[in-house]
Amino acid sequence: MDYPVFSVLPRHLAIIMDGNGRWAKQRGLPRSEGHKKGSEVFRKIGEYAGNIGIRHLTFYAFSTENWNRPENEVNALMNLFDSFLGEAIERLDENLEKGIRLRFLGDKNGVPAELRALMDYVEEQTKDCDKTFLNIAINYGGQQEITQAVQRIAQNVKDNNLKLEEITPELISSYLYTAEQPDPDLIIRPSGELRLSNFLTFQSAYSEFWFSDVLWPDFTEETLNEALADFEKRNRRFGGI
């Protein structure tokens, strides 16, 4: 495949994978089929983005609020995640050769124990990779992330390990799930919704946003190219002139 060349690429691209259920409903299919198709698109877009040179990728897979969905849908999503982890382990040598580091953003304590064990194993095996950083946000909530960070910072102040004047935005960032990674330059949300939905709440202060009516299962490499071409033209002033 011939890959396009962009003059500017986001260092960190984040995507809210939205619209799976509506895609399935439009076709008279169970919502689980939409999630299955969406997981295939995730693999395709993740690989493509890495190949064109985007180093940091974060995909919003499952929020803290998604547990409120019907039990059969939650089970289907967990089964898909289980399949992904199994595939990641099967392709471990390939991922290591490509330098892909896998990290899971969110509260692992809310995830079934057997999946937590697989998550920990994959993270440990790829921890020294440094070419592409692939983050999957699962049982993730931006407000929850900030709350947990503040609690840890407060405990360090209480224990006299940290002074109040040492608390800066940079310090707070170091307590987040995305510690040591740049904030997202570009956040993409398909499906026609125009909101963050509790995704990377702190990290998105200066992110560019790109919205599309395309449902996630219909999202293609060409759709991503369109978003990247738009990002390439933007003038990011970060509060300056």
Tell me which amino acid residue 149 is. A
66, 156, 198, 225: the catalytic one is: 66
Is 66 an annotated catalytic residue?
yes
How far is residue 2's CA from residue 7's CA, in Å, rounded to a whole number?
16
Tokens at 193, concatenated: 């919704």
Is 20 an annotated catalytic residue?
no
How far is residue 133's CA from residue 240's CA, in Å, rounded to a whole number?
30
Contact present, 14 and 188 (Cβ < 8 Å): yes
* Those residues with Cβ within 8 angstroms of residue 211's Cβ, 6 or more apart along the chain or in another chain: 188, 189, 190, 192, 193, 194
18, 135, 183, 185: the catalytic one is: 18
Q: How many residues does the chain have?
A: 241
β-strands 208-211, 12-16 pairing: unpaired
* Residues known to be catalytic: 18, 66
